[in-house]
């Protein structure tokens, strides 16, 4: 049975049981605690936690997931995959344990001819929470055990296990409960007898049924938590691994050999000329390739581009591991343009958006492979230098700091560093490397939370959200009489707050726009009894709840009547900038192409920035054309309309959606001139594009591999910028005595004249330097068996000093000659050492000689065997430094 059919059977079965079929959310789900969706329940988390009411009593889905913690184990086991699909059925206060078990048993054991999976009941084992692990279940989860016995599982196929195995929670305060896992016995050829407790390779878990019963107040570990009390409603949250079920039903050994993955292995084998199954190491590499190609394809389809941070870094690592694995398989030519189409053709039937995004995906992947191939070359050179420095220091261990630098700065994989260092007889300080990586991850997570203004502890907000959603009235009203329904101080919900404190206030309804969708939050005042509260920020810490950060000039309490008033001028400026963002997006797609999809945006009154997918920088002509197109759209005064409609209808009309955003069944579509610009958007806008006034495109730049950014000013800010530029032009034309249309030519001529003067000055300096160096040739002194030209050239440094050394070395011809020069400025000496090929053959290495000489000038430096250079801070040590070069040469014989 093909993987896609297995998934469809799952959905069809649960739809027949009254479940709403919910499409997979993007892998870039808008959750500050996650890089990617890593479990099927993530899109339902707020419903399960009670943060917002679920739109259905029962739901089922096939959710795209990515997990990266075990990336180094990919290919080595049957269980570890980066991208996978999680089948799930969910109940929000509807059915519970008995029904969930009965549903699972029916689907797993029903004959395939009747729509089931057709597993032999005798091969099924299950686990439940065992006795003695939980105070509320002293005898274990007896209800689950009895239900499994009732549906037909033998008692000796039911195993009781600990909290670590059979209790589920999210790792943070929230819902939790015992779970029951379904395993399939693959047979004695896969391991020893004894059920899941004995061997989880032979007994493969395919489905976990979670029975959410408790509200956890503190979570310290998987088996260490505090229980606040029972949940208001009992929920069912299940997850079945589609790939695991597929490998069992397709009779293959691991998830890399199922129909949606194995053809990539076949293609990798063809490219490498090696046979899958002939060598374990080669097999692991091919499985890594197959897994990572599919995972990268799905991430890029959902909008991730390769980069050095967070999601982009994960994608970059996946792509580079593919290239590296293929290189170890003996393939040196580019591979991603060949392998990715194989995975595309396998996955596009289940996820048709792959075809829509394909041009952008393959463009970004090809560029990344080209970049990495250059990185491999540069990183190898850096590693060779680090190895030489390690050996020169008498060590056999490459420092963790150097390995981290290679990894972080040059993208050099740690496994490649380990392998290449080992080839040269060195180990790597992996512990320090791991520590530095962990510190970097923590900084990244902290930065991400800080930028979002959020904390992972949302308990106070969740409690307030359970009282109801905060209606947003700001599309039509800028001033609203309302009531304080909640106050949050230092992360805790309080009933009152004193004057002088900074708190977050929840209102019964609000006209204030919370920062979202790239639009900055509103500003304004909340008028209380006898004083005003300045609104500093507005956020949505959990869906449906709006909090207003304010500084109190008087005492405030829950229940107080207030008037919320948005700053109208600030709001109008925000509307201008947000509509201008849509204008730029439409202009880019029109002039650059459909691959110029949005990758992020930010707008506030007078200013906007817009990130989009593109490999190529804009030419000056294209920037001008885009700016003109935007201002033409503003001049044409397109009507800006918004319409509420079903999500599927909006997408069918071509509405653009942001990757990672969660959209409700009914969405708001904003249109500019009908199909010219259609976007799903919750932001505020002007009534027509003419109200923007003017757009001034400031510039365009790269912000990562395959991602570009444009910035612009709008309205009066754009006018002021243009006026300032006009003033500058007037001043320059006055100084240079030319007309404005002659200014460019005049400045270009001045620059050319300055460059010519610089060249003449450099030539004069070089002649002066060579003149000073001529006398040194007459003072060639023996140093052991070498001819040494050594001396000081004050005032000469940089390229000039290097050129002198090269010239003097060439004058020595085939002699075993060494040149050692010290130049630079007082207090900043520069040193250079150069060797002839004959000298190098006799053991004189420029880099080693320089390292021996820099101590007297308090300096450092390095280089290759033929030439090395350095700098210091103590000019008084120049004679001693040159003396050390002579001593080193004498010691060589």
* Rounded Cα distance, 85 and 105, in Å: 20
Euclidean distance between the first and the last CA atom of the chain, given in angstroms as a whole number: 77
* Rounded Cα distance, 29 and 715, in Å: 34
Both tokens of 181, joined, read: 């896992």
Is 582 within any annotated ligand binding site?
A: yes
Report phi then psi at 839, rounded to 5: -65, -40
Give the three-state DSSP class for 492.
strand
* Rounded Cα distance, 541 and 797, in Å: 58
* Rounded Cα distance, 792 and 673, in Å: 74
Are residues 202 and 186 in contact, defined by beta-carbon separation less than 8 angstroms?
A: yes
Containing H/E element for 230?
strand 224-241
DSSP state letters, 56-117: -SEEEEEEEEE--TTGGGTTTSSS--SEEEEEEEEEESSS-HHHHHHHHHHHHHS-GGGTS-
Report phi then psi at 463, rounded to 5: -60, -45
Is 157 within any annotated ligand binding site?
A: no
Are residues 548 and 505 in contact, defined by beta-carbon separation less than 8 angstroms?
A: yes
How far CA 518 is from CA of 11, 603, 707, 715, in Å, comes to 35, 6, 17, 19
* Rounded Cα distance, 158 and 144, in Å: 10
HEC string of 566-608? ECHHHHHHHHHHHHHHHHHHHHHHHHCCCCCCEEEEEEECCEE
Report phi then psi at 577, rounded to 5: -65, -40
Of the candidates 28, 617, 611, the one whose C-alpha atom is nearest the C-alpha of residue 314 is: 28
Strand partners, 178: 167
* Rounded Cα distance, 469 and 662, in Å: 17
* Rounded Cα distance, 286 and 291, in Å: 9
Give the three-state DSSP class for 429.
coil
Is 578 within any annotated ligand binding site?
A: yes
How far CA 65 is from CA of 107, 237, 241, in Å, comes to 23, 16, 10
Both tokens of 817, joined, read: 């000659």
HEC string of 712-774? EEEHHHHHHHHHHHHHHHHHHHHHHCCCHHHHHHHHHHHHHHHHHHHHHHHHHHHHHHHHHHH
* Rounded Cα distance, 884 and 831, in Å: 13
Give the three-state DSSP class for 274.
coil
Both tokens of 631, joined, read: 């201002």
- Crossing angle for the helix pair 310-328 and 336-347, to the nearest 10 degrees: 110
Give the three-state DSSP class for 700.
strand
Of the candidates 236, 240, 280, 300, the one whose C-alpha atom is nearest the C-alpha of residue 19 is: 236
Of the candidates 83, 93, 35, 91, the one whose C-alpha atom is nearest the C-alpha of residue 63 is: 83
Place of tokens 């820099």: 854
* Rounded Cα distance, 579 and 206, in Å: 48
| Residue numbers belonging to the annotated binding site | 578, 582, 681, 685
| Residue numbers belonging to the annotated binding site for Zn(2+) | 578, 582, 681, 685
């Amino acid at each position: 049975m093909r993987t896609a059919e297995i998934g469809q059977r799952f959905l069809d079965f649960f739809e027949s049981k009254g479940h709403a079929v919910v499409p997979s959310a993007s892998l870039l789900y808008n959750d500050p605690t996650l890089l990617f969706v890593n479990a099927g329940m993530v899109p339902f988390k707020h419903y399960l936690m009670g943060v917002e009411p679920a739109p259905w009593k029962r739901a089922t889905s096939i959710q795209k997931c990515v997990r990266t913690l075990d990336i180094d184990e990919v290919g080595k086991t049957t269980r570890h995959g980066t991208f996978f699909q999680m089948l799930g059925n969910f109940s929000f206060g509807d059915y519970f344990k008995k029904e969930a078990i009965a549903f699972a048993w029916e689907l797993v054991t029903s004959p395939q001819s009747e729509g089931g999976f057709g597993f032999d009941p005798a091969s099924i084992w299950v686990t439940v929470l065992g006795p003695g692990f939980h105070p509320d279940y002293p005898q274990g989860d007896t209800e689950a055990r009895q239900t499994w016995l009732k549906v037909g599982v033998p008692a000796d196929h039911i195993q009781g296990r600990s909290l670590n195995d059979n209790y589920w929670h999210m790792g943070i305060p929230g819902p939790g409960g015992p779970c029951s896992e379904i395993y399939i016995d693959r047979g004695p050829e896969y391991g020893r007898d004894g059920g899941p407790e004995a061997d989880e390779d032979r007994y493969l878990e395919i489905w976990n049924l979670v029975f959410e019963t408790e509200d956890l107040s503190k979570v310290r570990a998987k088996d260490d938590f505090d229980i606040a009390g029972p949940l208001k409603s009992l929920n069912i949250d299940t997850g079945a691994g589609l790939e695991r079920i597929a490998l069992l039903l397709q009779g293959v050994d691991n998830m890399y050999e199922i129909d949606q993955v194995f053809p990539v292995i076949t293609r990798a084998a063809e490219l490498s000329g090696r046979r899958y199954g002939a060598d374990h190491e080669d097999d692991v590499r091919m499985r890594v390739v197959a897994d990572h190609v599919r995972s990268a394809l799905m991430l890029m389809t959902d909008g991730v581009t390769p980069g050095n941070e967070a999601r982009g870094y994960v994608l970059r690592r996946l792509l580079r591991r593919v290239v590296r694995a293929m290189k170890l398989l003996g393939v040196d030519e580019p591979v991603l343009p060949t392998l990715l189409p194989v995975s595309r053709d396998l996955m596009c039937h289940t996820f048709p958006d792959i075809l829509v995004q394909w041009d952008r995906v393959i463009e970004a992947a090809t560029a990344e492979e080209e970049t990495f191939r250059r990185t491999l070359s540069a990183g190898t050179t850096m590693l060779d230098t680090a190895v030489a420095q390690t050996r020169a220091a008498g060590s056999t261990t490459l420092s963790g700091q150097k390995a981290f630098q290679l990894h972080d700065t040059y993208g050099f994989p740690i496994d490649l560093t380990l392998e290449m260092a080992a080839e040269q007889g060195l180990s790597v300080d992996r512990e320090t490397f791991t520590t530095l990586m962990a510190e970097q991850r923590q900084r990244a997570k902290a930065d991400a939370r800080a930028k979002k203004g959020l904390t992972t502890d949302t308990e106070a907000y969740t409690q307030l959200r359970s009282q109801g959603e905060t209606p947003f009235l700001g599309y039509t009203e800028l001033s609203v009489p309302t009531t304080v329904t909640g106050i949050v101080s230092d992360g805790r919900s309080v009933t009152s707050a004193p004057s002088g404190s900074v708190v977050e206030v929840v209102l019964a309804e609000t006209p204030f726009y919370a920062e979202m969708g790239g639009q900055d939050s509103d500003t304004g005042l909340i008028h209380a009894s006898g004083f005003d509260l300045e609104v500093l920020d507005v956020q949505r810490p959990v869906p449906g709840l709006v909090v207003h950060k304010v500084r109190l000039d008087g005492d405030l309490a829950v229940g107080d009547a207030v008037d919320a008033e948005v700053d109208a001028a600030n709001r109008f400026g925000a509307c201008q900038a947000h509509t201008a963002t849509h204008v730029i997006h439409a202009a880019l797609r029109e002039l650059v192409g459909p691959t110029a999809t949005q990758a992020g945006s930010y707008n506030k009154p007078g200013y906007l920035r817009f990130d989009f997918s593109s490999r190529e920088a804009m030419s000056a002509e294209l920037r001008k054309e885009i700016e003109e197109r935007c201002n033409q759209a503003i001049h044409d005064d397109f009507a800006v309309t918004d319409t509420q409609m079903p999500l599927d209808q909006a997408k069918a009309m071509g509405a653009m959606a942001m990757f990672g955003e969660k959209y409700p069944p009914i969405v708001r579509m904003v249109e500019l001139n009908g199909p010219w610009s259609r976007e799903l958007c919750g932001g505020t806008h002007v009534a027509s594009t003419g109200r923007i006034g003017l757009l001034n495109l400031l510039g365009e730049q790269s912000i990562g591999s395959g991602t570009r950014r444009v910035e612009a000013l709008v309205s009066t800010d754009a006018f002021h910028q243009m006026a300032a530029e006009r003033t500058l032009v007037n001043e320059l034309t006055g100084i240079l005595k030319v007309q404005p249309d002659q200014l460019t030519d005049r400045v270009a001529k001045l620059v050319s004249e300055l460059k010519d003067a610089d060249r003449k000055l450099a030539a004069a300096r070089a002649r002066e330097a060579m003149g000073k160096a001529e006398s040194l040739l007459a003072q060639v002194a023996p140093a052991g068996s070498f001819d040494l030209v050594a001396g000081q050239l004050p005032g000469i440094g940089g390229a000039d000093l290097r050129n002198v050394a090269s010239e003097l070395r060439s004058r020595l011809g085939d002699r075993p000659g060494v040149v050692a020069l010290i130049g630079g400025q007082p207090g900043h000496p520069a040193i250079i050492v150069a060797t002839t090929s004959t000298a190098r053959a006799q053991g004189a290495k420029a880099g080693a000689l320089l390292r021996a000489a820099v101590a007297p000038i308090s300096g450092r430096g390095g280089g290759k065997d033929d030439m090395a250079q350095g700098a210091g801070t103590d000019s008084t040590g120049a004679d001693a430094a040159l003396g050390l070069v002579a001593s080193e040469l004498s010691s060589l014989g």
